[in-house]
A and B are shown apart, each in its own frame.
Chain A
Amino acid sequence: MALLEINQLYKTFEKGKETTHVLNDINLNVQSGEFITIIGPSGCGKSTLLKAIAGLDTEYTGEIKLEGQKIAGTSINQGFIFQEPRLFPWLTVEKNIAGNLSLNKPSVKSDVKKLIKLVRLEGFEKAYPKELSGGMAQRVAIARALLRKPKILLLDEPFGALDAFTRSHLQEALLDIWKEEKTSMIFVTHDIDEAIYLANKVVIMSSRPGAVQKVIPIDLPFPRKKSTTSFQEFRHLVLSEFEKVDELELINSAGI
């Protein structure tokens, strides 16, 4: 049985008389320990899909099951990383990670300590978010999500706002975490290199209506190098899928 099953998921937005099909018949399975990236043009509904899996949005038809249980709302089983770190500015790094859990509990304290080491933020335990760089803050957010030991970690363009160097550094950090914790990941991005670099499977979505256009398994061994020819071949494969979409859209809009 797959860890996460999405069956015939539909979602529409209604604004006045117009109905927009945001998600159209999404079917997707995620195995335990798998790293999935979802890539697509803006407005294809990839963030909406992620929010539905998180339980932040329950207004859809179809079903999403985690370990056979229908997802009814947010829970600690689904960790979520937003595009911005969204730390509580009045809490120190360790208190941000602990959140509603008490640092006075020895088990929480030692878990927080381990995670701070994992995201390489030793020495910043007592720092406030204003003293952190964007990359450091996002690492705190990742540690905060991991503390709850989620079955699946959902990441909504988490590195989108960071510069190229910080981003590639954090991609490596995330892969290290993935290897260590074996948490399943669904990672939404609009960066093709990032999608291929991280994933076991790249899910390509097309827009209007938002649908899964193709799933490309990436069987390159880790650690990957973006400059290798095999990496570039996958890049061409993904790009040619996008070009197909463009042609289709051109045909549609021309009314042929």
Chain B
Amino acid sequence: MENQTTISIDNIKPSKQKRISKKKDARQLTIFIKGFILPLIVIAIWELAGKYELISATLLPRPSAIFTTFIELAASGALTGHLEISLWRALGGFALGGGLGLLIGLLVGFNQNMEQTIDPTLQMIRTIPTLAVIPLFILWFGFGEASKILLIAKGAFFPLYVNTFLGIRGVDSKLFAVAKVLQFSKWKQITLLILPAALPNILLGLRLSMGTAWLALVAAELMGSSEGVGYMIMDARQFSQTTVVFVGIIIFAVFGKLSDSLVRLFERKLLKWQDNYQG
């Protein structure tokens, strides 16, 4: 969170910088703390309710019990093993699907011919739910890594494709007139005008794409595998180890949030020129 403060103050004179950054630090801290208020209250009530046996330990184990299980799993090395394989799958699928989505989104955005030939087909494929193609992927690629990575790739492709396309087509035509008057070459038009103007949409697509990659990862690992966080959850369910299920869920939540924060950090760095309502 600290690196947020260093971004927007580089225009200010160094003498003032210290004072302002201190003030900013304090404000950032309160914003950071504000985000924790609600979860902390929920956890406190939950813990107390478990302690006084108001809720069943098998259905809803206490946070402290979940934490103990987490430490045990981490210490035994089982957790890192599952996590590692899950991360590789998510990353591989996301890189493949998201990369293609960005590339084809750019192509279709820049070229009307491409749009007319490719976009209708892609839009049709987009409406097929990712879960519905699981049986087909298993038939084609078996239970191995290929079917999982491809499933994640399918999920990650469309948010980036749609948003990249949208971003390029949303460029203000008034700025194109400026580029024409100033005699921009085609290349300069792309690098100085179209790509920067489409960047907010592309980054949004990136965030959504990462979200669906996580979603598809869980679906892929639940459908049948022998390792990964999704497998760990399914396995624990069979033995009624609710605490392990919770550990798995929380790990998904934490990594989902971390990846999202990373893109938002990019957004803040790359889109500092934006002049939007801050709430």
A residues sitting closer than 8 Å to B (CB atoms) are 54, 56, 74-76, 78-80, 82, 84, 86, 88-91, 99-100, 126-130, 144, 148
Contact = CB atoms under 8 A, between A and B. Distances in A.
A20 B178 CA distance: 28
Contacts of A89: 273-275
B102 interface: no
Interface of B: 11, 174-175, 177-178, 180-185, 188, 192-193, 196-197, 199, 272-275
B174 A74 contact: no
A56 B181 contact: yes
Contact of A82 (B178, B193, B196): B178
5 shortest A-B CB distances, which residue pairs?
A130-B275, A90-B196, A100-B188, A80-B181, A90-B273
Given A90-B273, A99-B188, 18 more contacts: A56-B181, A74-B181, A79-B181, A82-B174, A82-B177, A86-B174, A86-B175, A90-B197, A99-B182, A100-B182, A100-B183, A100-B184, A100-B185, A100-B188, A127-B11, A129-B273, A130-B274, A148-B183
Contacts of B272: 128
A120 B183 CA distance: 26
The SS class assigned to the B binding surface is helix
Given A74-B183, A99-B192, A126-B11, A56 B177 contact: yes
Given A82-B178, A126-B11, A76 B183 contact: yes
Contacts of A84: 174
A126 B185 CA distance: 24
Nearest to B188: A100
Contacts of A99: 182, 184, 188, 192
A88 B184 CA distance: 13
Contacts of B184: 99-100
A88 B193 contact: yes
A77 to B, nearest CB: 10
B175, B181, B183, B197 — which one has the most chain A CB atoms within 10 A of its CB? B181
A88 B174 contact: no
A129 to B, nearest CB: 8
B192, B196, B197, B275 — which one has the most chain A CB atoms within 10 A of its CB? B192
Given A82-B174, A89-B273, A90-B197, A74 B192 contact: no
Nearest to B174: A86
A130 B273 contact: yes
Contacts of B181: 54, 56, 74, 78-80
Contacts of B196: 88, 90-91
B183 A75 contact: yes
A78, A99, A144 — which one has the most chain B CB atoms within 10 A of its CB? A99
B211 to A, nearest CB: 26
23 contacts: A56-B177, A74-B180, A74-B181, A79-B181, A82-B177, A86-B175, A86-B178, A88-B178, A88-B192, A88-B196, A90-B197, A90-B199, A90-B273, A91-B273, A99-B182, A99-B192, A100-B182, A100-B192, A126-B11, A127-B11, A144-B182, A148-B182, A148-B183
